Amino acid sequence: MSTDETKVRPLHPEGAPRNPGFAGITGEFDLTEAQIRGTEYVGRRPVDGGHASVAGTLPYQIADRNPDAPLFEGPYAERLEKILTRYPDRQAALLPALHMAQEIRGYLSPQSMDEVAARLELPPAYVRGVATFYTMYNLQPLGKYLIQVCTNISCNLCGADAVLDAFLEHTGNDMGEVSSDGRFTVIEAECLGACGFPTVVQINERFFENVGTQDVPSILEMLK
């Protein structure tokens, strides 16, 4: 067998658009780190949720929020209808409905929770019980960028405490507070589920892996 025949070839047909994120494609590629990490694929999900099958998921890297924006109006009403088609009853759609309210307003105020309850025809106390159970729901206003530094065991062993301190120092923040320019809130998180790449930092919906203290200034600069 010749050298050419033994060489592993990409599975995609010649000339077809490449998707380097598809694990089934093997072979020799000329990829940049940004392509491998997917940072070139960051985009916004349409506010109406796009196709009903993905309407319950979050858009990537949410940064613009308005705590006074109406909930469930216009394209967001359309998205809620799509979300409801995916569940047996309105109660079952509570988590994505809360996520959508958080996406629009940035956090879940008592008023927002009550509006979700009314829209889904649920008792307000039930909705508050659910919203306060999950740490993914923010119950107070945040900076434009929520920086969550994983300090669980794998990340901790690789310097997560120092990374957390660096974020606090460079943003001039105390933990959980909104920075004076309104841009940043820094908190601890456990565990972000990417333990093979410590220290892991989640900023809004995006993961940053293998973060060291030396990376903190450039990450913050990029967000500015």
Q: To the nearest whole angstrom, how small is the minimum distance from the Cβ of residue 190 to ligand FES?
A: 7
- Checking 65-68 for CB contacts under 8 A at 24+ apart, the result is 65/103, 65/104, 65/105, 65/106, 65/144, 66/104, 66/105, 66/106, 67/105, 67/106, 67/107, 67/109, 67/141, 68/105
Q: How far apart are CA 177 and CA 159, in angstroms?
A: 22
Residues numbered 158 to 177 that lie near ligand FES (CB under 6 A) are none
* Count of residues near ligand FES by CB under 6 A: 12
Is residue 211 a contact point for ligand FES (CB under 6 A)? Answer: no
Whole-number minimum distance, CB 109 to ligand FES, in Å?
A: 30
Q: Which long-range contacts (CB under 8 A, 24 or more apart) does 177-182 make?
A: 178/141, 178/142, 178/143, 179/143, 182/143, 182/144
Nearer to ligand FES, 139 or 162 (CB): 162
Closest CB to ligand FES among residues 191, 219 = 191
Cβ atoms 48, 80 nearer than 8 A: no
Instruction: Rounding to the nearest 10 degrees, give the CA dihedral for residues 149, 150, 155, 157.
Output: 90
Minimum gap (Å) between residue 12 Cβ and ligand FES: 32
List 152, 173, 185, 202, residue binding ligand FES (CB under 6 A): 152
Nearer to ligand FES, 70 or 193 (CB): 193
The interface region with ligand FES, picked from 42-50, 60-68, 122-130, 150-158 by CB under 6 A, is: 150-158
Let me know the angle formed at the C-alpha of 100 by 192 and 187, rounded to the nearest 5 degrees: 35
Query: Nearest-CA neighbor of 203 among 134, 142, 148, 166?
Result: 148
Give whichever of 54 and 153 is closer to ligand FES, judged by the CB atom: 153
Binding mask 64-93 for ligand FES (x = CB under 6 A): ------------------------------
Cα–Cα distance for residue pair 134/5, rounded to 1 Å: 54
Pattern 183-202, ligand FES, x by CB under 6 A: --------xxxxx--x-x--
Token pair listed for 180: 């004076």
Q: At its nearest, how many Å lie between ligand FES and the CB of residue 165?
A: 16
Q: Which of 83, 131, 155, 166 is in the footprint of ligand FES by CB under 6 A?
A: 155
Using CB under 6 A as the criterion, which residues of the chain lie in contact with ligand FES when the complex forms? 150, 152-155, 191-195, 198, 200
